[in-house]
Amino acid sequence: MTDTDPRVTCTACANMRSGHCVTPKAALLSERYGKAEIGPQLAQLPQHCPGFARARVFTETRTT
């Protein structure tokens, strides 16, 4: 994967929770009960996903 590669991984998506995509319609996946199960190997493969939302990375900041 290069810096200009538009593909993303499910593991970097805010919509991935406990092995499930919680926005399957946006991701163009078939759903069951409003979510789609994503296997761990598939979740790590770079792919095009219209429902991708970058997961936020929280860092602790201290003020004294």
Low-confidence stretches of the chain (pLDDT < 50) are none
**Number of domain units in the chain:** 1
- Say what the pLDDT of residue 2 is: 55
Report pLDDT for 58: 63
Considering the domain boundaries, does residue 23 fall inside one? Answer: yes
Q: Please give the Cα distance from 13 to 53 (Å, whole number).
A: 5
Cα separation, 17 vs 53, whole angstroms:
12
User: Distances in Å between the alpha carbon of 52 and those of 11, 46, 63?
Assistant: 10, 12, 34
Report if residue 61 sits inside a domain: no
Rg (CA), the chain: 14
- Rounded CA-CA distance 11/19 in Å is 9
**Structural domain span for residue 2:** 1-55
pTM for the structure as a whole: 0.73
List strands edge to edge, sheet with 20-21. 16-17, 20-21, 36-37
